[in-house]
Chains A and B, each alone.
Chain A
């Protein structure tokens, strides 16, 4: 399975999709550069760059880049091999279907995680270095916490969209509707409906935003403990990975003939 993961990672490295996703993932870095240039103005208002980091990481990464890129990387797990008609090469090899799907999920999750982690690291560095290297080091756990949550999110979202990509014909549209419709809307509803979103559990684990009360007003309140949130995300990841694997055993993929 190790070779398959490597192979799919290499495939991702050469795909136009990954290049576009990498470009997208650098939007917050660009924004952080802009803030860096504007820091004399911000400082005059009593705002430090690092003070904006939790807000930046929440809005740009958790609510925009993570769901967006995971839709594209997740739906590609099975759908890519079907659309590119390369699935027969994989199926007519002594490799179990479980290993094929699992390797692809691992490779795509890693690609997504690496893209987000690099981008988040650069954003963090730009925003935390303002007060010196000491401050950068002191606040590093905040970066690790937000980066870790994004990785957990990648782990839960990728197999979910892999499953979607294995079931329906145009999974990207449905995926985008899910992340920007359901996930972002339901989270602000009162009551327990928000427990049916992945983003809620990620919020629970994300670094808190105590200073920014307005944003806190529209964010859901914690309804589960950190441990429960981690466990639920891991269970969801395992569940959707299992479903994606079983799809390749249950479903047949009729490829277009040339």
Chain B
């Protein structure tokens, strides 16, 4: 399915959310890349019919999106917000979505089971979502988005808060869906995450489309700029000691109280590849890792300069 956006703008009063965007998305995975506040979420909300455009048009397979519930038959959406009906278990959450989608009981049960297996949540499916870790909540959100086998999938920061294993599984899943001919849109503020899923990106900042197309050109620019990565884990001391031995690691900031370290690396790709292996070797459990926003802002400022 094709998504067409023409001269799309969205204003919130005097504030511009997105500014005169024109692009076409074909089947396969496309990354929306930009720092927090760049307009990615606004764009996804416009594409999923939650917001109405101030100017311009947007359509999925030629059909308008705003207040057109029929087009949602083909759409899956994983929102960024960590929001749930907390009384539900993971299984009930996905099942309820399938029933809302119009499937009967038996079909909804089958689709729910499949989706939960796909995101590897079978063991925790009958626990209340309120008791899930952030990574598990991300997985179950993803399950409700893919369960009905949509042709178009919008994933807003799907890797946020996931552990390295969860990230790897989700990246594989997204790539597979793209290979199956689905139109998958993934938004992220972390370049290497998007890069692992696709080489096709839209670079967005301040609501404007800065670049569109192949990721490698942008990658070359970023490689010269150090990236900060914050890791939350147990056995912080042991991990820190080993990370200091890496040549690409320029500095490490230590927060013992929070069990966090912030590493500055000039080779983020290598760093991210080495980290899971190292953690396994040292028997360190990584709860989550992310890049601090201010560092990403700096990278994007550097890029658009």
Contacts and interface: CB of A to CB of B under 8 A. Distances in A.
B99 A3 contact: yes
Contact of B85 (A3, A86, A94, A95): A86
B191 interface: no
A92 B52 contact: no
A211 interface: no
A92 B99 contact: no
Contacts of A85: 79, 81, 83
A258 B80 CA distance: 7
Interface string A219-250: 00000000000000000000000000000010
A88 B77 contact: yes
Given A93-B101, A97-B69, A254-B12, A88 B75 contact: no
B81 A88 contact: yes
A250 to B, nearest CB: 9
Nearest to A13: B87
A91 B75 CA distance: 11
A89 interface: yes
Interface string A80-115: 000011111111111111000000000000000000
Interface string B45-70: 10011111000000000000001011
B260 interface: no
A10 B82 contact: no
A94 B70 CA distance: 5
B97 interface: yes
Interface residues of A, number: 29
B302 interface: no
A92 B100 contact: no
A7 to B, nearest CB: 6
A90 B70 CA distance: 13
Contacts of B262: none
Contacts of A249: 67
A257 B83 CA distance: 11
Nearest to A12: B87
Contact of B87 (A11, A88, A90, A252): A11
Contact of B72 (A10, A93, A253): A93
B9 interface: no
A94 B80 contact: no
Contacts of B96: 3, 7
Given A3-B100, A252-B50, A94 B81 contact: no
B144 interface: yes
A85 B69 CA distance: 19
Contact of B69 (A4, A14, A88, A96): A96
A96 B144 CA distance: 19
A47 interface: no
Interface in B90-112: 96-97, 99-102
A94 B69 contact: yes
Contacts of B101: 93-94
B258 to A, nearest CB: 19
A220 B87 CA distance: 45
Interface string A174-206: 000000000000000000000000000000000
A94 B72 contact: yes
Nearest to A84: B83
B83 A86 contact: yes
B255 interface: no
A3 B70 CA distance: 18
B237 interface: no
B82 A252 contact: no
Contacts of A92: 48-50, 72, 75-77
A93 B69 contact: yes
Contacts of B87: 10-11, 14-15
30 contacts: A4-B100, A7-B96, A7-B99, A7-B100, A11-B87, A15-B87, A85-B79, A86-B83, A86-B84, A86-B85, A88-B50, A88-B77, A89-B144, A91-B72, A93-B69, A93-B97, A93-B101, A94-B70, A94-B72, A94-B73, A94-B102, A95-B69, A97-B67, A249-B67, A252-B52, A254-B51, A255-B81, A256-B81, A257-B41, A258-B83
Interface of A: 3-4, 7, 10-11, 14-15, 84-97, 249, 252-258
